[in-house]
């Protein structure tokens, strides 16, 4: 897109500080059920689901965890079976070797450092083996204590299209969003963008004509 056109589009929609709350409000009205698609019944199941969701779909993870969580109920259970057995049990989520190793390391640390419980602070969560910042952010937000903003592929694409950031690096995008998005919406905001990104602002072909924020978006094609 030529620079002058981008400049004009930004001028047309106004500053991001003024647009962010209307964007959140309209997407909230559009997607009142926007929430995490992973299925879990406890903090531990949440952590395991999010760890397994790397490089695969939530639907796929839910299919695997339906059986998995019958068999593995406590951190000790993940350490009680041979590594190969755990690998087999999570095989269908892909990258099963790394994931099994990460799960075992995480369970061991939960037992030694956290009384077998899932910690709530981001700085503790990122200490767990195989738990990167994005995973930690998702878990902390679902535990009701968001300390950052989850940046996945949808959040990144939509934040850029909506002119909320010009960065490419997820950590820098998160910083821009933390500065912009009201703290009370840090947990909800990524879900709104993910839902909108899956349904309307699709990667290859955004459907701007039926987008509820098209008058607030500098990338709108209508
Ligand atoms: S107007 Fe188009 S590009 Fe902008 S958020 Fe909506 S669908 Fe995406």
CA of 213 to the centre of ligand 1 (A): 7
Instruction: Render the burial of 58-89: b for 16+ CB within 10 Å, e for the rest.
Output: beebbebbeebbeebeebeebbebeeeebbeb
| Overall pTM surpassing 0.75 (yes/no) | yes
Torsion angle defined by CA atoms of residues 194, 140, 36 and 177, in that order, rounded to the nearest 10 degrees: -10
CB distance 192 to ligand 1 below 6 Å: no
CB distance 164 to ligand 1 below 6 Å: no
Is 71 a residue of the active site?
Answer: no
CA of 139 to the centre of ligand 1 (A): 28
> Is the dihedral angle over the CA atoms 18, 21, 22, 24 positive or is it negative?
positive
pLDDT at position 9, please? 83
Give, for all 222 residues of the chain, the pLDDT tens digit. 566 777 788 888 999 999 999 999 999 999 999 999 999 999 999 999 999 999 999 999 999 999 999 999 999 999 999 999 999 999 999 999 999 999 999 999 999 999 999 999 999 999 999 999 999 999 999 999 999 999 999 999 999 999 999 999 999 999 999 999 999 999 999 999 999 999 999 999 999 999 999 999 999 999
CA of 207 to the centre of ligand 1 (A): 7
Among the options 43, 124, 152, 215, which is catalytic?
152
pLDDT at position 65, please? 98
Q: Which of 31, 220, 221, 222 to mutate to test the pocket of ligand 1 (most atoms within 8 A of CB)?
A: 220
Is 152 a residue of the active site?
Answer: yes
CA of 190 to the centre of ligand 1 (A): 16
């Amino acid at each position: 897109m030529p620079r002058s056109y981008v400049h004009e589009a930004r001028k047309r929609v106004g500053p991001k500080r003024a647009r962010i709350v209307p964007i959140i409000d309209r997407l909230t009205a559009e997607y009142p059920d926007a929430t995490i698609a992973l299925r879990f019944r406890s903090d531990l199941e949440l952590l395991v689901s999010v760890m397994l969701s790397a490089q695969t779909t939530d639907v796929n993870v839910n299919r695997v965890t339906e059986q998995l969580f019958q068999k593995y109920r406590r951190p000790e259970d993940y350490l009680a079976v041979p590594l190969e057995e755990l690998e087999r049990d999570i095989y269908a989520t892909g990258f099963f070797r790394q994931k099994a190793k990460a799960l075992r390391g995480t369970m061991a640390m939960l037992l030694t450092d956290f009384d077998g419980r899932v910690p709530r602070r981001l700085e503790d969560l990122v200490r767990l083996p195989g738990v990167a910042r994005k995973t930690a952010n998702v878990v902390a937000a679902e535990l009701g204590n968001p300390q950052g903003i989850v940046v996945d592929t949808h959040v990144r694409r939509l934040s850029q299209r909506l002119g909320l950031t010009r960065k490419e690096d997820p950590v820098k995008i998160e910083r821009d969003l933390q500065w912009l998005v009201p703290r009370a919406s840090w947990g909800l905001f990524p879900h709104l963008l993910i839902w909108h990104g899956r349904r309307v602002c699709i990667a290859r072909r955004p459907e701007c004509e039926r987008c509820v924020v098209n008058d607030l978006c500098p990338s709108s094609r209508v």
